[in-house]
Structure 1
């Protein structure tokens, strides 16, 4: 099914060359993936995965010195990695999310300073936007930064931050003006060794990956740590999410593909009264729904990525549709996989049991499904109002 996806007209020849990642993952990443599946410490494995991806040149698709990101490449890599390993996909994605503000809005000097180590896999990046009371609506954030001479001084807390404790550098959003809502937010680069910065907590989740909370206590950063202009923070964050929400959908598609792969193997091998489980019509009904959901989700994801790359501009609506549909449908696909595995499907460590835990967070992070619906409906209503006025 993935080979068929690559033949869709969304892609150019350079995108089809990314299929080489499958061989790389099955060879160079395999021992780390096996350790992940065996329950090894994710804080130990994730940096090794970043290093391996960097050595293979794959992180060049997550960050860029030329100020551009190819959304289709980003989605294809996340799709392929998620089909094999949730942690490998996470390791790749966070190098991109943690530096996208610098790639897209940083100046040349910032890119030269902060991106090469991330692309090589020598440095780990993180994206610090969410707060305990400002998750779905970053305009309500309380973390603040004020000017003191030539420096900025940051105070506040962030939570639900992937790579907290592992990252060497963080893109941090803070309020720099008294303006209400989103108008007063700015974006900063904070090195992990900066005095006043600390990791205040580690957060355990159902599908383990590095996650925690951050604290900023009179954390002083130089003037050149500001990304873009003061007050650009909300625009920067939303532009980054326009790119990465589609790629979250790609990750969900990859997980759904993995569930379907395991399910096909199971139903063709499992014998019931002398017949394979796959020969029963009720099984085939579920398989048909699963395959259709995977293709439909992939179409929305790669449509959104194509629009971002080729049409350009803000793509909030199509990105929201891609994330909403792909993550929700992947949840249904994996649930059907668990059902077809029977009792084995809920045994800890079984591939579909792991997927059942891994997929759940995708419907929450980078904007919940409910937030995606508000984005879609809001833009739909605005477009309708504009057409009526014309």
Structure 2
């Protein structure tokens, strides 16, 4: 795996040390890629081991038992890239601890952080984020799950679907509608613990790259008042702030998949002969390798620019994170497709790494904002910046 990018000015020495430690850890604990194993057990095992060895401390802040005062987005991105390079479920298990508990890390009270975050950091508790619904995926404003105050807390009713860690999580951070305010203004954020009466996981969902996914149901699920994160009406703000931290790390995971695909392609073209000549010696192969390497570096620049910008204190990095997520996931799809092509018939054989990567990458172009939604976000942010600088002049007819 190419490590030269670690010398880029985006990183500090502690990031380079983290990358070296994670490389060693992943080579030891995440090298075996057995998709026939029980995915629930695999994910639980990764969470336990990552927690035991201290890496889950990256997913929560220090006042919740984590390693850093605030979430270090560059560290999160590096971890995702390295883990994804070795094993998709290792990356999945790691990031869901952060994404699932992110609203608590960012907006929780000190008591809420003490209650729900240490278990995430040490791997004894598995976290999940429940936003998506049958009619509300990227469109968070369309959430219809309802929380109704009942005097002692809230009663939650509704359905969530495509929920990562659904069925194995110990705690779920849920975005629901509270009150009659329309759109984004009526949303709130709650923590629902597994085993709460009225909460169930009636269905597990099978997808092309095995991951623990489920459909959640809430039927008069009683939520204590102390489980409300932030204030009523802040649910959309909380959700978007969480995505601001973690959306660019989706690009980092895609980057890890792409780097692995390039390495697998290089290994293959070095040994495969076609018409008594190494595949690597053909100019068509060299052109394809050049495209793959360039797209990987371009992705890395966008991913780590977004992470660096957030770590430098920017309130919002919506545009940067959306660019990173959109470009890196789409580029990784192209890189992995090229690797499959270079592997030939073996490339579509189940159990071969590039075939596994081909299935792994597809979902990343959808979750945490589809490519199409991210394009709308980027365009909106770009146009808003233009109007802020030139709006008055353009309205007056000036060029």
CA distance, structure 2, for counterparts of residue 3 and residue 325 of structure 1? 21
Match for residue 339 of structure 1? 341
Match for residue 8 of structure 1? 8
CA distance, structure 2, for counterparts of residue 77 and residue 239 of structure 1? 20
For these two proteins, the number of residue pairs brought into alignment is: 386
CA distance, structure 1, for counterparts of residue 70 and residue 104 of structure 2? 10
Secondary structure at the counterpart of residue 99 of structure 1: helix
CA distance, structure 2, for counterparts of residue 12 and residue 347 of structure 1? 41
Matched, 1:388 2:390: yes
TM superposition shift of 1:2: 3.5
Q: In the TM superposition, what whole-angstrom CA distance separates every residue of 1:318-350 from its partner, at most 9, and x where no partner exists? A: 000000000000000000000000111011111
Matched, 1:49 2:46: yes
Match for residue 369 of structure 1? 371
CA distance, structure 2, for counterparts of residue 264 and residue 140 of structure 1? 45
Matched, 1:305 2:307: yes
Checking the alignment, whether the CA contact within 8 Å between 1:144 and 1:176 is kept in structure 2 is yes
Regions of 4+ moved over 3 Å: none
Match for residue 351 of structure 1? 353
Checking the alignment, whether the CA contact within 8 Å between 2:178 and 2:232 is kept in structure 1 is yes
TM superposition shift of 1:38: 4.8
Q: In the TM superposition, what whole-angstrom CA distance separates every residue of 1:152-190 from its partner, at most 9, and x where no partner exists? A: 111000001000000000000100021110000000011
Q: In the TM superposition, what whole-angstrom CA distance separates every residue of 1:91-119 from its partner, at most 9, and x where no partner exists? A: 00100100000001101111111011111
Match for residue 164 of structure 1? 166
Secondary structure at the counterpart of residue 160 of structure 2: strand
| More displaced stretch, 210-219 vs 268-277 | 268-277
TM superposition shift of 1:3: 1.5
**Which runs of 5 or more residues in structure 1 are unaligned?**
none
Q: How does 1:177-256 map to 2 (within 5 A)?
A: 177-256=179-258
CA distance, structure 1, for counterparts of residue 60 and residue 330 of structure 2? 28
TM-score with structure 2 setting the length = 0.95
Counterparts in 2 of 1:38 and 1:180: CA distance versus 1, 3 Å:
closer
CA distance, structure 2, for counterparts of residue 256 and residue 286 of structure 1? 14
**Which runs of 5 or more residues in structure 2 are unaligned?**
64-68, 393-399
CA distance, structure 2, for counterparts of residue 177 and residue 65 of structure 1? 34
Checking the alignment, whether the CA contact within 8 Å between 1:65 and 1:103 is kept in structure 2 is no
Q: CA RMSD in A?
A: 1.1
CA distance, structure 2, for counterparts of residue 60 and residue 371 of structure 1? 31
CA distance, structure 1, for counterparts of residue 175 and residue 202 of structure 2? 17
Checking the alignment, whether the CA contact within 8 Å between 2:35 and 2:210 is kept in structure 1 is no
Matched, 1:102 2:104: yes
Match for residue 18 of structure 1? 18
